[in-house]
Structure 1
Amino acid sequence: MSLPTVTRQPAVPQPWQHHDRTTLLDTGSYLIHRDTVTQPDGTAGIFEYHQARTDGALTIALGPV
């Protein structure tokens, strides 16, 4: 007796799920956002990032967490 052949589809990564956005700083020239997300592997995460409204450079110093 032989077992039936099972063909499995490769795992398809799920897209990032965006749950919430908080704007931490808005200077008119740039914004700093904090997003609450679920990553493709199912892990919850919080990401902070900078969004420039004009061309330029910005450095943000982060202290110990």
Structure 2
Amino acid sequence: MACPYLEYREADEERSFETARAYCTAVDAFVQPMRADICNDRYELDHTTDCEFYRNAER
């Protein structure tokens, strides 16, 4: 199950993107693709234990 704080957005306030980019609502920022891998629980990663953004938001 993917992180509930992860969204994919096709634009920000200033521009639009060719492809949707990973956005973390826990920190209100776009995140790097490697971070999105954690959000999506890829490569045996788990967002509940491997992501400090998630852990801080859940406190």
Same fold, TM exceeding 0.5?
no
Hey, which of these two has a bigger chunk of strand by percent? 1
- State the structure with more CA Rg: 1
Of structures 1 and 2, the one scoring higher in RCO (CA 8 A, sep 6+) is 2
Hey, which of these two has a bigger chunk of helix by percent? 2
TM-score, scaled to structure 2: 0.27
